[in-house]
Amino acid sequence: MTAPDLEPATWVALIAAGVALLVGLAGPFVNARTQKRTIEAQREMANDERLWAKRAKVYEEILLWSAQADSARSDAAQAVYQGEDFEHVIERLAGKMQLPLSLQIGLDAYASEHVYEAVRRFRRSLQRVTALVVNQAGSPQAGRPPFDRKDALDEWLDEYVLGSVELRQVISDELAGKRHEKARGRGHARA
């Protein structure tokens, strides 16, 4: 079959009409696909905003807890030095140094790996330095002499101070939008 003998302008018009028909048929499909992607992106942004709000709240609570734990550590050392019942001080201190369960759950669910590790190091150094400070004072009621390990106390106090500064800096950086190499996610809610 041969093509009809038409003027070149007619061929151009027929080709243009064919292209317009194809574009007209493809347009709704492309538009629907673009709209679907836009809606998915908006949902993802809204979800990220909700997660960020929860993460920021957890970070603020961690900072508050760390300040309270440090204050409790300082108060306990002072109480032991002033002769308060050793076991009572330790019992009172242990409760204040524990991360509340709701905060631990928030930490597990929302904190970045970097913040999670900074909290873990801070808790470890807080426990170590508290044990040494309290043991340094001894227990007059139990007839126990002071623990004489000033070198360990100085080393662990340095570790504690560095851990405390690091924890605050890591949280501050993340709240300011700065990322760390180790800020990989743990679980579904981490970035």
- 139-180 residue pLDDT tens: 555 555 555 555 666 677 788 888 889 999 999 999 888 765
The answer to whether the Cα torsion of 22, 28, 30, 33 is positive or negative is negative
Tell me: the pLDDT tens digits for 11-64?
Answer: 888 888 888 888 888 888 888 888 889 888 888 888 888 888 999 999 999 999
Neighbours of 107 (CB within 10 A): 21
The residues facing 139 across adjacent strands are: 144
What does the block give as tokens for 24?
């007209």
**DSSP 3-state of 133:** helix
Q: Domain of 117?
A: 52-175
Does residue 22 fall inside a structural domain?
no
CA nearest neighbour of 115 among 60, 48, 158: 60
User: Can you tell me which residue has the tokens 């508290």?
Assistant: 130
The verdict on residue 136 lying in a domain is: yes
**Residue appearing with tokens 């709209």:** 35
> Does residue 79 contact residue 93 with C-beta atoms inside 8 Å?
no
CATH number at residue 168: 1.20.120
**Residue 38 falls inside a structural domain:** no
What pLDDT sits at residue 184?
Answer: 42
3-state helix, strand, coil in the chain (%, to 5): 75, 0, 20
Is residue 36 included in any domain, yes or no? no
- Please tell me the distance from the alpha carbon of residue 112 to that of residue 177, in angstroms, as a whole number: 12
- Give the global pTM: 0.63
How many Cβ atoms from other residues are within 10 Å of residue 167's Cβ? 24
Overall domain count for the chain: 1
Phi, psi (rounded to 5 degrees) for 139: -135, 95
